[in-house]
Each structure stands twice: as structure tokens, then as C-alpha cells.
Amino acid sequence: MNRIENEAQFQEQIGQDSYTIMKFDATWCPDCKNLDRFIGDIISENSDKTFFAVDSEQFETLAEKYDVRGIPSLLVFKNGEKLDHLHSKFAKTPAQIREYLSKLDSPSKDQ
């Protein structure tokens, strides 16, 4: 998973006309390290989405702007708009993340 290097790159990526998933994390976070152990398979299963990692301490202003209150958190963007947010307490297992991402493709999901 590529890591966001600056705010301009972040803005460019969230502006895409497809789902962009931003994983907010931190180097010291044990739950983030656990997520990193299995996120690769989930990314492979969701090739129609783009995934990036964002260091919530390096980009505190983005974390504040998008209400990231716990890490890891997965934020979903499309066309520059935040569509959804999987908060840290629900992002601990592969099953939780797979279920969350599958709902993005559901026709009943407001987009």
C-alpha cells in the first residue's frame, strides 16, 4: 500500500472518480500493525478500489478535518467527497473490513 507523502497527493487521490480508501494509522499503533498483516489480501480482492496509508500524526490537519478519532480508520472517498468511515473499533478483523467494503458496492448504499 502506497503512503501519502503530502496534502496535494492526498487531495489528488481523493478526487478520483472511483473509490479511494485512506487508511489512517501511526507507526506506534499495535492495531495498525495487526491490520497491516492482513490488509494485502483485502486490497487484492478489491482491485476496483485504490488504497493509501496516511500517517495520522504527520497529517494531523487531515485527521481532524475528516474526524479520525481512532486508528486504524478506513475512510472512503470518491470525487473529492468523504462517503464513509470505518472507525477503528470496527476495523480489527479481516471479516469486518471485507463486510464494510462489500457494502460500498451494494446498490442500497447511498453514494
**Catalytic (active-site) positions:** 29, 32
Annotate 60-81 with DSSP letters as a single string. HHHHHHTT--SSSEEEEEETTE
How far apart CA 81 and CA 14 sit, in angstroms, is 7
How far apart CA 58 and CA 53 sit, in angstroms, is 11
